């Protein structure tokens, strides 16, 4: 079964990357961490 996802959405790439890094460090064993830079991109995932 596929792991549930945490989706990060922000239009500032530095913020998205930092959040993704931090969340992966803590939660990657239980969740997929997916980053998007717009609401449309997040919906397309």
- Please state the domain extents for the chain: 5-44
Q: Is the pLDDT of residue 7 over 90?
A: yes
Task: Please give the average per-residue pLDDT across 10-26, as a whole number.
Answer: 97
**Cα(42)–Cα(5) distance, integer angstroms:** 12
Three-state secondary structure call for residue 6: strand
Residue 1 has pLDDT above 90, yes or no: no
Residues 24-40 have a mean pLDDT of: 96
Q: Give dist(CA 44, CA 15) in Å, integer.
A: 20
Predicted confidence (pLDDT) at residue 38 exceeds the cutoff of 90: yes
């Amino acid at each position: 079964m596929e792991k549930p996802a945490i989706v990060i959405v922000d239009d500032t790439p530095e913020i998205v990357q930092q959040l993704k890094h931090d969340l992966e460090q803590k939660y990657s064993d239980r969740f997929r961490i997916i980053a998007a830079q717009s609401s449309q991109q997040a919906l397309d995932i």
